[in-house]
Amino acid sequence: MATLRLGDIAPNFEAETTLGHIKFYDWLGDSWGVLFSHPSDFTPVCTTELGTVANYYPEFQKRNTKVIALSVDGVESHHKWIKDIEETQNVTLQYPIIADESKEVANLYDMIHPNADDTFTVRSVFIISPDKKVKLILTYPASTGRNFDELLRVIDSLQLTANYSVATPANWKDGEDVVISPSIKDEDIPSKFPKGFKGIKSYLRMTPQPNK
């Protein structure tokens, strides 16, 4: 099986979820997507993660982004677990959890790393653009919960840089200055970036975020 890489087309699949049967591409539609996996149901770190995503759900909606979780347990187990998540995290789960008992989706997305665990999925994250391309891949060990503020930050960056000839610098947050692409000539900057720019080096030119 080939390893999934940035820029690849995200594999399509059909699956049972806590919100019914889905065809992944149809479910995504024209939205961005976040697919994130969990080692198994009724695990402590996963419980906090799913609760956090439920709390952040409006932020994903603002960004035209759908979220979907996955573990290799069944739908019935997922529904029981959701009760625990909602009780302990004081949330209502608005998004689906894939029941991947056959590990079909886990294998499509290379979520099982035998040297870490040959049965359960690692904490994988895939951000998928509306054209179904993989834009981000993150893999966390089972012992480390994810930072969902970082995922929102990355989505902001991906959506910005998809529409403008810019990149976002280290620790950038929405609203801060961005880097002008090296492919843009100095003489073309005024027409493309009317807010002006600061030249630090010939290859490092900063400009206010163009869509703010």
Give 33-54 pLDDT, tens digit per residue. Answer: 999 998 889 999 999 999 999 9
Query: What is the set of active-site residues?
Result: 46
The pLDDT tens digits for 80-90 are 999 999 999 99
Size (the chain), residues: 212
* Torsion angle, alpha carbons of 33, 38, 44, 48, to 10: 0
- 59-68, 87-96, 108-117: lowest mean pLDDT where? 108-117
Residues 50 and 145: their CA atoms lie apart, in Å, by: 10
Residues 23 and 37: their CA atoms lie apart, in Å, by: 17
Q: How many CB atoms lie within 10 A of CB 84?
A: 14
Domains of the chain from N-terminus onward? 14-160 (3.40.30.10), 164-207 (3.30.1020.10)
The number of C-alpha atoms within 13 Å of 70 and in the hemisphere containing its C-beta is: 31
Contact 66, 103 (CB under 8 A): no
The pLDDT tens digits for 171-192 are 999 999 999 999 999 999 999 9
pTM score over 0.75 = yes
Cite the DSSP H helix spans in the chain. 24-28, 44-62, 75-89, 104-108, 148-161, 189-192
